[in-house]
Every structure is written in C-alpha cells, then in structure tokens.
Homo-oligomer: A and B are copies of this chain.
C-alpha cells in the first residue's frame, strides 16, 4: 500500500510537471516503475518537451505529420536486415534503405493477431478491455465501440487532418469504422483477407481452402452454413459524417484474384493521392496506410514467382516494398519527409497456416499469428523522424503497440486529449525514442493475451508461460528469451521458484486493477447498417446472419 501511495504521488507530480491535465491512468506495473524512476522521468519530460518545442519552432509552429504503415503478418527479421533477405531469396531494398534512416524498435510487441493489434494502436488499450481481443472472419455484428477515443480522434482534437486507407478489420458495424472513429476520410476493407484471398473463387479452384460457397448443393440442408464470401461487404469509402458506399463490387459480381489486385493497387494509388492532398493542406496530418498485401493465396493466372523465394506472400512483399519506395519518394518530392514521423511495422507474426507456400516461415522466434510465443507477437518495427530520432539506431526496450498511441500523441502535442476517464495501457516512450536510450523506457513487461485469456508474461528477458488455472505456479514454464529466442528450453529451476510467484503477483495486480476498470463488451449492431448501396446478396447474407443469431441458444 505504501508503494502504491508513493507511486500515485509521484505520478501526479511527474504528469503535472508538463501538462495541466490529470495524469493518464495506467495499469499497475507502471506505478511500480514510476515509484523507482519518477524523478528521472520528470527530468526526462522536461527534456522531451524542449526537443518537441524546438521541432515545432523549426516547423513553422506546426506539429509533425504522422504516417503509419502497418503490414500484415510479418515475422521479426523480414524487413531491414539484408542478410536475412538474402538467405530467403528476396529483396526489400526500399524498406531496408528506410530502416537505415529509422530507429529499429527491436522489442516491439504486438498482439497475436490483426484485429487486437490494430485496436491497441488505435485505442492505446489492451483489446481485451473492450472485448476486441477476438477476430471474426465473417459477418459478426460487433466491433470497436464508438466510446473508444482513437488515436485519430486524439490527433483531430489537436488540429490534425486525418485519413485512413486499406485494411481496417475492427468490426462490421458502422460505429467501428474509420470514418466514424476519427478519420476525416477513409477507404477501407471492412473485413480481412480471408474473404478476399482464401475464400475467393480462384483460391477455391486452387484448393487453397474448402469451398465456402457450395457449388453443388444437392447434399446441403443449411444453405447459410457456407457463407458466400463474395456477398460480404468488401471495400467502403466515405468522409466523416457523410454517406458511406461500397466501391468494389456490383450486384451479381464475384470476387476473385484480379479484383484483389485491383483493390490493392487502388489502396496504393489512394494513399499517394491522400499524401499529396494532405501535404498541401495547412494542418498537420495523420495518414494511415494499412496494406492488405503481402497476404495473398493464389496465383490465379497472374504472373509467376517474382523472387527466387517464390512464395506468394514474399512476392507480394517485394511489390509492397516497391510501393513503399514510391511512397517514401513521394514524401521527398512533396517536401514532407523531414517533418513527418513514419512508423513502418508488422501487426503480428507469420500466418503459419500458409507456410511454406507463403514464402515465410517462423525463424528467429517460434510460432506465428495467433500464438503467444514470441513468433506471434514480435515484429519488425521502425520509426523515422529525421533529426529527432536516431537514424539507423536500435532500441532494445520493450515497447507494446499500444505505446504508439500515447507516444505519438505526445509527439503531436495532443496528449491532453488522451481520455482520463479510463485505463490506458500505452505508456509514453517519448524519452526512450527521442534520446535513443533504453534506460529511459517506461515499460519492462507485457502481458500477452490470446483473445480474452492472458497466456504469457514477459518481464525483462524472462517469459512465463502461464500454467493452466489451478496449477501451482512453481512448475510454470520459464524461458530466458536472450538465451533461447525460440522458447524451446524451459529453465524452471531457481527462476521458476522465485519467478513463478513474482509473475503471478504481476497478473494478480493486473486483475485487481480490473475491479476498478472492468473489461467491457464490444459494441454490437446491425452489420453494414448505414451503407448506402448495399447489394441485395449482401442484404440476404445479413438476413441469414440475423436468423442464426436469433436461433435459440445461439
């Protein structure tokens, strides 16, 4: 109790030192670090403010622009290390050049799959806190609640122009969508690539997956068991407060590989256009480009292997590298490279279901997407801010994707708009990033969830795989991540006897904190409600969803 009291005091002091707001409310472990480092953090905050003020002064009083490129399903080491490109027979020269200008966040932790990672970046909160730890690949009628205050909303309040292009995948109900969550404009895929690359007609022909639509229905009683993926909503577009329209499908049309290519090219083109438009505006801007590629699952008559590797994802990764090269060149041409923070990172580990055909297999860390081993949650992550963040640097501090929410808000001078009425998991890593100094990090742990269950805890280089409920924590599996990146040799000796208990206490504090800040469910609603031009087959698919939902004990 004494520690917590001290922590709360220090916390108030540290935060009030640089902002006139109430302090941001964090999870319990933060206050333990604060009690040890509060005085230093207060000093660091003064230095951070000075550097940010100096940037603004040189930038005509304007906050920096922010570009977020979040790439699907990449493992650690897929970008930015030429040796690791070479041994796998592909090249990402543009991203590698970018990484030479950026700081590599070596210990960036995401959530183990797309939706929760994106939710964490957007809200600064663990996805479990608002029921968004789970992913649905079909029509589901739930999503990110409108009550969440997204990074876009925080920045918008600070005067930013905001735009989102590409994957969204945080729900199929209107309140969850980018244009309703703080973006002035959005062109976004409602769902993910399952519908668009796995269940599309070309992929079904190539036996990438079981057929979703049943072409021969003579043995079928339940016509809606296999949804028709082409009937699902594809890409929507709209402005905040304006009409929202589906833009990639006409009624009766079937989704296929060619349409997937067209959509991806359009996302790239739109990103380039948005960058040009935003760069000409008066406001600082926040542009999110969340590409759908490298995910792809069928050749479908398109050109053959583009790389020596030849994997479907790897070939598309090379294409994405070209596109990002174009984007970086466009930033140079528009004169915004120097006043724009660019974050390029993966959203979770490899989608191992499609290894090795994808061309990617887990390597340095074990496991991939959906796993809570490091292979699921450790990703390549780079941040570039010329003159402000060390070029070609490495920062080996633990950073969680939710920290980007808090840190980018701080960089933008928008942190006063981070909500004070809820628990925010993302901590402010400004000092560590601006001074390239691991001792200035404000996090030394992550609690790794799979959906709504905590599965593992990392603190420093130690990782505890949580034992099943009721089991004595003394036998929990422990890993030393420095010595054993792949978690293959558990070290359940002395560290188990000490650490099992200590880690259980971390979890207990985390759970105790939930008494005051309980997890809440996601928002529920009518799928696709509010889209002007909903196709008849899409409306029918929604009806089928509603029938199943209404079925007793659904």
A residues near B (Cβ < 8 Å) are 76-77, 80-84, 86-90, 104, 106-107, 308-311, 314, 355-364, 394, 396, 461, 480-486, 488-489, 491
A356 touches B81 (CB 8 A): no
A356 touches B83 (CB 8 A): no
Given contacts A87-B107, A356-B489, 8 further A-B pairs with CB under 8 A are A77-B84, A82-B394, A83-B104, A86-B396, A89-B396, A308-B482, A314-B483, A363-B364
- A81–B363 Cα distance when bound, in Å, is 15
A106 partner, pick from B83, B107, B488, beta carbons under 8 A: B83
Output the least CB separation between A484 and chain B (Å).
4
Decide yes or no: A311 and B77 within 8 Å by CB, A86-B394, A87-B107, A491-B356 being known contacts.
no
Max chain B Cβ within 10 angstroms of own Cβ: one of A76, A86, A491:
A86
B355 touches A482 (CB 8 A): no
Number of this chain's copies in the assembly equals 2
A359 touches B483 (CB 8 A): yes
Q: Please name the residue on chain B nearest to A361 by beta carbon.
A: B484
A-B contact pairs, 22 of them (CB 8 A): A76-B87, A77-B364, A82-B394, A83-B104, A83-B394, A87-B364, A87-B396, A87-B481, A87-B485, A88-B485, A89-B482, A310-B480, A311-B482, A311-B483, A355-B484, A357-B483, A358-B483, A361-B486, A361-B488, A363-B363, A363-B364, A363-B485
A364 touches B361 (CB 8 A): no
Decide yes or no: A361 and B87 within 8 Å by CB, A356-B491, A480-B356 being known contacts.
no
Decide yes or no: A363 and B310 within 8 Å by CB, A83-B81, A106-B86, A107-B87 being known contacts.
no
- A481–B89 Cα distance when bound, in Å, is 9
- A103–B513 Cα distance when bound, in Å, is 53
Output the least CB separation between A185 and chain B (Å).
36
A482 touches B309 (CB 8 A): yes
Decide yes or no: A83 and B88 within 8 Å by CB, A356-B484, A491-B356 being known contacts.
no
Max chain B Cβ within 10 angstroms of own Cβ: one of A80, A89, A90, A104:
A89
Q: Please name the residue on chain B nearest to A104 by beta carbon.
A: B83
B309 touches A359 (CB 8 A): no
Q: Please name the residue on chain B nearest to A396 by beta carbon.
A: B86
A355 touches B489 (CB 8 A): yes
Q: Please name the residue on chain B nearest to A481 by beta carbon.
A: B87
Output the least CB separation between A310 and chain B (Å).
7
| Across-interface contacts of A82 in B (CB, < 8 A) | 394
- A488–B311 Cα distance when bound, in Å, is 16
| Across-interface contacts of A76 in B (CB, < 8 A) | 87
| Across-interface contacts of A483 in B (CB, < 8 A) | 88, 309-311, 314, 355-361
B363 touches A482 (CB 8 A): no
| Across-interface contacts of A107 in B (CB, < 8 A) | 87
| Across-interface contacts of A355 in B (CB, < 8 A) | 483-484, 489
- A84–B364 Cα distance when bound, in Å, is 9
A482 touches B310 (CB 8 A): yes
Output the least CB separation between A374 and chain B (Å).
9
| Across-interface contacts of A314 in B (CB, < 8 A) | 483
- A360–B86 Cα distance when bound, in Å, is 22
Output the least CB separation between A539 and chain B (Å).
42
A83 partner, pick from B77, B357, B488, beta carbons under 8 A: B77
| Across-interface contacts of A361 in B (CB, < 8 A) | 483-486, 488-489
- A488–B375 Cα distance when bound, in Å, is 15
| Across-interface contacts of A362 in B (CB, < 8 A) | 486
| Across-interface contacts of A308 in B (CB, < 8 A) | 461, 482
Q: Please name the residue on chain B nearest to A392 by beta carbon.
A: B82
| Across-interface contacts of A90 in B (CB, < 8 A) | 482
Output the least CB separation between A481 and chain B (Å).
8
Output the least CB separation between A238 and chain B (Å).
40
| Across-interface contacts of A486 in B (CB, < 8 A) | 361-363
- A461–B394 Cα distance when bound, in Å, is 31
- A482–B363 Cα distance when bound, in Å, is 11
Q: Please name the residue on chain B nearest to A99 by beta carbon.
A: B83
- A256–B146 Cα distance when bound, in Å, is 68
- A482–B313 Cα distance when bound, in Å, is 13
Output the least CB separation between A86 and chain B (Å).
4
- A363–B364 Cα distance when bound, in Å, is 5
Q: Please name the residue on chain B nearest to A307 by beta carbon.
A: B482
| Across-interface contacts of A311 in B (CB, < 8 A) | 482-483
